[in-house]
Structure 1
Amino acid sequence: MIDHSGRASSVRRTNWAGNISFGARRLHTPASVAELQDIVAAAGTVRALGTGHSFNTIADTTGDLVSVAGLPRSIEIDREAATATVSAGLRFGELTDTLHRSGFALHNLGSLPHISVAGACATGTHGSGVGNRSLAGAVRALELVTADGDVVTRQRGDQDFAGAVVSLGALGVVTRVTLDLVPAFDVQQWVYEGLPRDEVIGRFDAVMSEAYSVSLFTGWRGDPVDQVWLKRRLTGDGPLVAPRRWRGATLAGGPRHPVPGMPAGHCTQQGDAGPWHARLPHFRLEFTPSNGEELQSEYFVARSDAVAAYEALERIRGSFAPLLQIGEIRTVAADDLWLSPAQGGDAVAFHFTWVPDTAAVTPVLRKIEEALAPFGARPHWGKVFTTEPGRLRELYRYYADFEELMTRFDPTGTFRNDFLAHHFPLAG
């Protein structure tokens, strides 16, 4: 691989998990937006790279790969508008402390503070909570460099804004993002073990509405659910005392990691109250959340179908549990973003962390997708899935609108790659 200055580099660039080796001819790390504009305008094909926390070829290219990590870092807080305009390459963990010290917060965070703002928003990445939209739901405006090297801005209210936020990197290289803010708040996080199946099946909405953010972790080995992570948003009354028993589950006797055998010290603190940004993620920025030896998949169904989907997965668990490190079930509130997996309705996400064996996992994904097909399951764009383009067209109301938007923004295919060509084969 060749870097942007022309020096040969022997460094092999891979995604975070190491299951994808990027095939780019050159890797660029521009130090300014002007330099990025020149690179994009001169490139035949180009793809943007964030933190590489995707598990498929969405960021890959045989042309030029551009990392936005070298762009000038900025966090501009507008107190009156309650927004922050930030460098797209910033990781959430590099942003949140500044927001908190200014008295503000984001409405939600993903499991990992290690992911970039632009990459997370572009793929529909989310946290959890019946009232919490995905991270992209906080986006009020975007600045991006388009195929001809121009800098354009799209903001909420613009005709094509809803198609430009979760855009899979297909419209340009995002350089700055404006995010909605809320007042800073504290969260208290507890872990319960052994939630009976009857609670999940019989009272799913009540379980998932128990706290500001709720995650169910299961190895899909049968009754009960292994762990429930409750993240309660605190009011002025201060910290709460966790009951030892909750819905038949038992309060964990110490810190827990969701993946069996992994060190709990890598996770955000459990028990004591703390700032939103130190509790809403599952993992701490100063630690690698795992060794990266994994694959991930995730499928979204309507929240009203959550129990039926859960039972459908139970029926085939014998085919996938041996390959599973851990599963997680979360809720995501509805939004109007065209390619968001929660577009049009409240959703439940079934997440799977697999052993790093693509050949073994791929046929299992087909079985899972078949089991979830009656519920219109939408895959997470940044994770491994086998859903065919024809099915995606059925699942996403604005699929054809997004094809038209890609063609309009990028008529020569500068940002096209094999991933986009496969999943949107009719685009220009």
Structure 2
Amino acid sequence: MSVPVTNWARNIRFSATGFHEPESVTELRRIVAQSSSVRVLGTGHSFNAIADTRGDLVSVARLPRTVELDERAGTVTVGAGLRFGDIVAELHGSGFALPNLGSLPHISVAGACATGTHGSGDGNGCLATTVQAVELVTADGELVTIGRDDPEFPGSVVALGALGVVTRLTLDLVPAFEVRQWVYEGLPAPTLRERFDEVMAAAYSVSLFTDWRTDRIGQVWLKRVTAEEAPESWLGATLADGPRHPVPGMPAEQCTRQSGAPGPWHTRLPHFRLDFTPSSGDELQSEYFVARPDAVAAFDALDGIRSLISPALQIGEIRTVAADRLWLSPAYERDAVAFHFTWRPDPVGAAQAVRAVETVLAPFAARPHWGKVFTTDPETVRRLYPRHDDFRKLLNGLDPAGKFRNEFVGRHFPVG
């Protein structure tokens, strides 16, 4: 079977010598046991070499499409290869919801959790915080389950695919709810600086979109669980007179419904609709998490280099993420503000902008998103994560021969 050539963004060319799409866990266990080097490919939405390998690349997309709802426990167990968009309608139809979703419903559940991917909201943790148990195939081909009562659980969820091949995840659920989405335009940057906490607390989920060119935030997306109406003017911003796309000039029909129309949680929390096929990878992405108290200072630092950011940028997004206890989560033990950058498909221009961003955010101990473009050196990354060495011990214990290590994992978590 031929190996996929590139990731979704086409900026990574895979080096794998074999590609497997097992249709059962038994088949997957055999593949892992017989291989000397394995990495797992999800939906390919990572923008660096985290999924690459010179050995066997394994997709879990064809494993049984499990969606097992436990109404009494308020949980669902899902197959690792499923996308969020594959499970949300069934959950909603049964009266349940996930508390948060990412911008795209097209990403795989396991891949998003493994990299600390997130939605937004002051009270919402990254998507991995809903995980109650992880089932995975370890280096010797054994199938193990690690639950919340296991002392190694906090290191086993956001695990970068380094501990094994995740086959199923059990997720916490909440009762289904409705959301109304409003978009405001032209929030003055001075107002954001002065009232940052108020802005980010204005809805269940808040996203700020900016091109880093002017003294105004281009769009503020408010996803509210209340029935309150939106005033025409808010903190100096103006209510949009119709649907908007985060990137000016792009068609708004690709986005989830706005203008305050109520709808199920899974049709409003993402920015984009499931039936919209994401752009064919004509972008690169980076993202950095700083501690919530540093939000305004970090914003000012980035604003000071807008001339270096904006030429390479399609759009930037600012979101908040609640603290958690997962060892490799970018929000580990600190409420975070995430500064996201969607770059133009120009690796050279993006690399120059990334270096500039990392330089000005360095004083704020900015943690890079594991699945996006970054150049932060491994020693700095080690210092950014207090449980780095604990994860390294866990990794060495579960995979002493380094079967699931690739260059990316080995660089950040060397053997020994």
1:400 counterpart (381, 389, 392): 389
The DSSP-based 3-state class of the residue aligned with 1:58 is helix
Aligned residue in 2 for 1:172: 164
For 1:33 and 1:240, how far apart are their aligned partners in 2?
A: 48
Equivalence map 1:21-420=2 (5 Å): 21-234=13-226, 239-271=227-259, 272-420=261-409
Cα deviation digits, residues 273-319 of structure 1 (max 9, x gap): 10000000000111123332000000000011000000000111111
TM-score of the pair, normalised by structure 1: 0.96
- Residue 12 of structure 1 and its aligned partner are, at CA, apart by 4.4
- Residue 327 of structure 1 and its aligned partner are, at CA, apart by 0.1
- Residue 427 of structure 1 and its aligned partner are, at CA, apart by 2.6
Q: Contact 1:339/1:399 (CA < 8 Å) preserved in 2? A: yes
- Residue 241 of structure 1 and its aligned partner are, at CA, apart by 2.4
TM-score of the pair, normalised by structure 2: 0.98
- Residue 364 of structure 1 and its aligned partner are, at CA, apart by 2.0
The DSSP-based 3-state class of the residue aligned with 1:41 is helix
RMSD: 0.9
Deviates more, 1:122-131 or 1:73-82: 73-82
Q: Contact 2:4/2:19 (CA < 8 Å) preserved in 1? A: no
Structure 2 unaligned residues grouped into runs of 5+: none
The DSSP-based 3-state class of the residue aligned with 2:76 is strand
- Residue 173 of structure 1 and its aligned partner are, at CA, apart by 0.3
For 1:136 and 1:269, how far apart are their aligned partners in 2?
A: 26
**Which residue identity is paired with 2:69?**
I
- Residue 17 of structure 1 and its aligned partner are, at CA, apart by 1.0
Q: Contact 1:262/1:290 (CA < 8 Å) preserved in 2? A: no
For 1:366 and 1:355, how far apart are their aligned partners in 2?
A: 15
Q: Contact 1:267/1:289 (CA < 8 Å) preserved in 2? A: no
Q: Contact 1:188/1:233 (CA < 8 Å) preserved in 2? A: yes
For 2:280 and 2:197, how far apart are their aligned partners in 1?
A: 34
Q: Contact 1:404/1:427 (CA < 8 Å) preserved in 2? A: no
**Which residue identity is paired with 2:118?**
H
- Residue 16 of structure 1 and its aligned partner are, at CA, apart by 1.1
For 2:41 and 2:139, how far apart are their aligned partners in 1?
A: 16
**Which residue identity is paired with 2:85?**
G
For 1:372 and 1:282, how far apart are their aligned partners in 2?
A: 26
Structure 1 unaligned residues grouped into runs of 5+: 4-8
- Residue 404 of structure 1 and its aligned partner are, at CA, apart by 0.7
**Which residue identity is paired with 1:292?**
G
Aligned residue in 2 for 1:6: none
- Residue 268 of structure 1 and its aligned partner are, at CA, apart by 0.3
- Residue 419 of structure 1 and its aligned partner are, at CA, apart by 0.7
The DSSP-based 3-state class of the residue aligned with 1:352 is strand
Deviates more, 1:221-230 or 1:11-20: 11-20
**Which residue identity is paired with 1:123?**
T
For 1:306 and 1:31, how far apart are their aligned partners in 2?
A: 45
**Which residue identity is paired with 1:107?**
P
**Which residue identity is paired with 2:41?**
L
**Which residue identity is paired with 1:345?**
R
- Residue 34 of structure 1 and its aligned partner are, at CA, apart by 0.2
Cα deviation digits, residues 339-377 of structure 1 (max 9, x gap): 000000100000000011112221321221110111110
